[in-house]
Amino acid sequence: MTKETVLVTGADGFIGSHLTELLVREGYNVKALSQYNSFNYWGWLENIDCLDQVEVLSGDVRDPHYCKHITRGVDVVYHLAALIAIPYSYVAPDSYLDTNVKGTLNICQAAMDNGVKRVIHTSTSEVYGTAQYVPIDEKHPVQPQSPYSASKIAADAMAMSFYNAFDLPLTVARPFNTYGPRQSARAVIPTIITQIAAGQKSIKLGDVSPTRDFNYVEDTCRGFLALANSDKTVGETVNIASNFEISVGDTLNLIRDIMQSDVEFITDEQRIRPGKSEVFRLWGENAKIRELTGFSPEHSIEDGLRKTVAWFTDPQNLKHYKAGIYNV
C-alpha cells in the first residue's frame, strides 16, 4: 500500500515535533512546516532522531498562497501552527489574530482547494475558561478570558465553518494541558524544572492554586492520530484529556520530590494573570474520544513528570533554556 502523505504545521514547536516523530514511526510520509527565518533554523525539529526521514518546509501559515502550495498532494493535515503564550497575547493581540485565525482560514481553504482527505485542527482547553462544571465535556460554554483564548475560539469556529459550509472533512482536536520534553519554559512545569536544575534555591511562580488536567505529550500525540484515523470524528470537536485534576501547587510538590529538592516557592507578581483572565479550574472529560476512537492516555502524572525531569536535567537539553529569565 502507498503510504499516506501528512503535513504537520507548527512542526518546529513542542507538540508538533513529537507528533512528527510519532507519524514517522507509524510509517507516514511526513512534511513538517517550520516557520520561516533567515537562519534556516527548524526549532525542535533540529533535535528529533528521524529528521532524515522528514521533508522540512520553511514558511508561514499567514500566507494563503504558501498554504495552497504546501497542501498539494497531502492526504492529512495536522494544523498545530499557532501563537500560544497567554502573557504575550496581552501585549500583542493582533499577532494572534493573524496567525491563529487567518492562519487557520488559509490552511482550511488550501486543504479544500487541494482535496485533502482529513484536517485535524488544534484547539486548546483554554477556550473553556474557568470550569462552570466538571469534568468539562465538549458541550461546556467557551469563555474568552484572554486574547489568546479569544483567537482560538475564533479559529475553532473558522475551522468548523469549513466543515459545515463546504464539507471539508475536519475534526477539532481540543487538548488539555500538555507537558513533556521540549516544552517552552513559559509553561509552569518546565519553569520549575529548569530553575531547580539550574541550582536556584528560590523558585519564582505565579498563582499555584489553579487546577489543571495535565497530559504527557506522547498521549496527546496519540490522541491526534486516533482522531485522524476515525471516520466517526469528522465534524466533531473532541477533548484530548486525562480526566484527572491536580493543582499547580501539588504538581510543583511532585516535581520537588522527584528532583529531591528543598527549594522554596515565591510569588512573582509579573507571572500572575489579571484576575478575570486567570483560568482557575480545568478538568477534562475524555469519554467522547474513548467512545469514538478507543483512545485512552497511558501515562500517569507521576510517570510523565519523571520522564520530563529526566529529559530537562540532561545538560545537553537544559542548555536550550534561560532559567533566570521570565519567558512570556
Catalytic residues: 148
Q: 143 φ, ψ to 5°?
A: -140, 115
Residue pair 125/282 in contact by the 8 Å Cβ criterion: yes
| AA identity, residue 57 | L
CA of 184: how far to CAs of 45, 63, 218, 228, in Å? Answer: 14, 25, 16, 26
Residue pair 81/103 in contact by the 8 Å Cβ criterion: yes
As to burial, measured by CB atoms within 10 angstroms (0-12 exposed, 13-18 middle, 19+ buried), residue 40 is: exposed
Q: How many CB atoms lie within 10 A of CB 64?
A: 16
Q: How many CB atoms lie within 10 A of CB 249?
A: 15
Locate 285 and state its grid cell: 472529560
- Dihedral (Cα; 153, 154, 160, 162), 10-degree rounding: -170
